[in-house]
């Protein structure tokens, strides 16, 4: 099989789940370019993570007949700690101060993006080593598992960011979420390494249910939920705002000329065509 085929197949499930993650944001949409950049950074960081894992792990590797202590070390340290910390640092260092990263919902979107980028490159590696037949199972297990695990620290990091924007002290939700992600990731891999598939499946299902619950809460409590801005036009004479369909200026009584530029009622940015969201502030434009 051509190497490019391995890459395309390995990234296909990640890109599909990325589309689902982006759609899960029911409030202000995220910039597509920023989401894709985070996804690609997740794939790029996979290489140094593998390097660090090999340096830390030394002679320890995944193999049949591993002892419980070896399986625990690989699962909780080499996989859980190093992988989740690597993904966490990508979002923390590249997005934490971004105006687009302002709440738990955004934290879950971008943690999902970096997790899927990492999982996609991991898929390619597994396909090269074990053949393309492993992709079907990984698309529904390990690929989604990375999203579920990272959602825990993504929600926490977004919560800390929202507290910072409000001038409130941080309560360390990002740290707690990271600990939870390391524990869940490690428990899942430990079940796989010790052939305890029941433990792995239960961990994946419980973590998935927790992630969905956090997503529902994040959407419901989003700072952008229900925010709309009515478009307006400015009077050509006195520059006072008026409703889009008003025939006369409410301030000076001058008749509005045709073709006045529509502006956002939130940030006053020009509204070209008929956008659903303001390109300047991201608020939903009232119809």
Residue 216 CA to residue 157 CA, distance in Å, equals: 17
Q: What is the mean pLDDT of the chain?
A: 89
Report the candidate in 182, 142, 173, 179 with the shortest Cα–Cα distance to residue 155: 173
Confirm if 154 and 112 have CB atoms less than 8 A apart: yes
pLDDT value of residue 79: 93
List pLDDT tens digits, range 107-130.
999 999 999 999 999 999 888 888
Is the pLDDT assigned to residue 170 strictly greater than 90?
no
Tokens representing 187?
């428990």
CA distances from 101 to 107, 136, 172, 195, 213 (A): 7, 33, 17, 39, 20
Residue 1: the pLDDT is 63
pTM: 0.81
Residue 64 has pLDDT above 70, yes or no: no
What average pLDDT does range 64-78 have in this prediction? 88
Q: What is the pLDDT of residue 80?
A: 95
How deeply is 273 buried, as exposed, middle or buried, from its count of CB atoms within 10 A (0-12, 13-18, 19+)?
Answer: exposed
Read off the pLDDT of residues 176-215 as tens digits, 9 standing for 90 and up: 999 999 999 999 999 999 999 999 999 999 999 999 999 9
Q: Where are the domains of the chain?
A: 3-220, 227-287
Label the pairing between strands 228-229 and 232-234: unpaired
Q: What is the pLDDT of residue 66?
A: 77
């Amino acid at each position: 099989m051509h190497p490019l085929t391995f890459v395309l197949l390995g990234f296909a499930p990640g890109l599909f789940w990325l589309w689902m993650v982006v759609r899960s944001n029911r409030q202000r949409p995220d910039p597509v370019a920023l989401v894709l950049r985070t996804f690609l950074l997740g794939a790029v960081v996979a290489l140094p993570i593998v390097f660090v894992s090999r340096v830390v792990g030394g002679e320890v590797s995944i193999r049949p007949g591993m002892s419980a202590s070896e399986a625990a070390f690989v699962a909780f340290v080499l996989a859980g700690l190093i992988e989740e910390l690597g993904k966490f640092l990508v979002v923390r260092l590249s997005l934490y101060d971004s105006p687009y990263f302002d709440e738990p919902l955004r934290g879950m979107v971008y943690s999902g993006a970096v997790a899927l980028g990492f999982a996609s490159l991991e898929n390619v590696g597994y396909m090269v080593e074990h053949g393309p037949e492993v992709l079907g199972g990984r698309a529904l297990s390990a690929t989604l598992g990375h999203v579920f695990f990272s959602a825990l620290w993504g929600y926490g990091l977004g919560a800390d960011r929202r507290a910072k924007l409000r001038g409130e002290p941080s309560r360390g939700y990002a740290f707690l979420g990271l600990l939870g992600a390391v524990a869940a990731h490690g428990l899942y891999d430990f079940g796989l390494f010790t052939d305890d598939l029941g433990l792995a499946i239960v961990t994946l299902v419980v973590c998935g249910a927790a992630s969905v619950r956090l997503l529902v809460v994040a959407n419901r409590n989003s700072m952008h939920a229900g925010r709309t801005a009515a478009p307006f036009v400015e009077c050509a004479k006195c520059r006072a705002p008026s409703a889009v369909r008003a025939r006369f200026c409410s301030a000076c009584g001058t008749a509005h000329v045709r073709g006045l530029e529509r502006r956002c009622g939130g940030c006053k940015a020009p509204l070209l065509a008929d956008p659903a969201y303001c390109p300047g502030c991201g608020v939903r434009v009232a119809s």
